[in-house]
């Protein structure tokens, strides 16, 4: 059963795809786990719903500089977002990775489920 609401979620490369999918087909909620984020304010203004991002302080690729630039563009676009930072490394939510951090992964998942519950309700 569906209420017609659409949410996207992705991890790593898929995190960037989650954002891209929400830009291509406006979603009601978007979740990015340590995926590449960016875009111009004009492009990001096409987002329909809020974005939730989970990022790791030890990540060398998806780092504070990239996320800060994304947040600045989101502010200029007038689009809502929430960023959570974890004392962890890239792929902290991947149980098959040596960088898996169970407490942070569980906290991020709880935040994701709460975000979807709040933004995808009918």
Is 90 among the residues known to form the active site?
Answer: yes
pTM of the model: 0.97
- At 8-27, the pLDDT tens digits run 999 999 999 999 999 999 99
Closest CA to 60 of 41, 38, 42, 34: 34
Is residue 1 very low, low, confident or very high in pLDDT (cuts 50, 70, 90)? low
Dist. CA 112–CA 32, nearest whole Å: 9
Dist. CA 30–CA 21, nearest whole Å: 9
Residue 10, beta-bridge partner list: 32
Is 59 among the residues known to form the active site?
Answer: yes
| Residue with the two structure tokens 């719903």 | 49
- At 58-79, the pLDDT tens digits run 999 999 999 999 999 999 999 9
Residue 122 confidence (pLDDT) above 90: no
Is 54 among the residues known to form the active site?
Answer: no
> 12, 28, 54, 104: which is the annotated catalytic residue?
12
CA 80 remoteness from chain centre: 12
Among the four given CATH numbers 3.90.25.10, 3.40.50.1820, 1.10.600.10, 1.10.3720.10, the one describing domain 7-119 = 3.40.50.1820
Residue 53, beta-bridge partner list: 32, 83
**Residue positions counted in the chain:** 122
> 28, 54, 90, 104: which is the annotated catalytic residue?
90
The residues spanned by each domain of the chain are 7-119
> 28, 54, 59, 101: which is the annotated catalytic residue?
59
């Amino acid at each position: 059963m569906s209420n017609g609401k659409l949410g996207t979620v992705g991890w790593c490369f898929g995190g960037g795809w989650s954002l891209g999918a929400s830009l291509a087909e406006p979603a009601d909620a978007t979740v990015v786990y340590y995926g590449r984020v960016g875009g111009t304010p004009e492009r990001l203004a096409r987002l329909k719903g809020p974005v939730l991002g989970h990022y790791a302080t030890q990540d060398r690729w998806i780092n504070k500089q990239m996320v800060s630039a994304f947040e600045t563009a989101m502010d200029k676009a007038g689009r809502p977002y929430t960023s959570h930072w974890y004392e962890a490394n890239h792929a902290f939510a991947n149980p098959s990775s040596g960088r898996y951090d169970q407490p942070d992964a569980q906290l991020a998942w709880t935040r994701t489920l709460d975000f979807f519950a709040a933004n995808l309700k009918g």
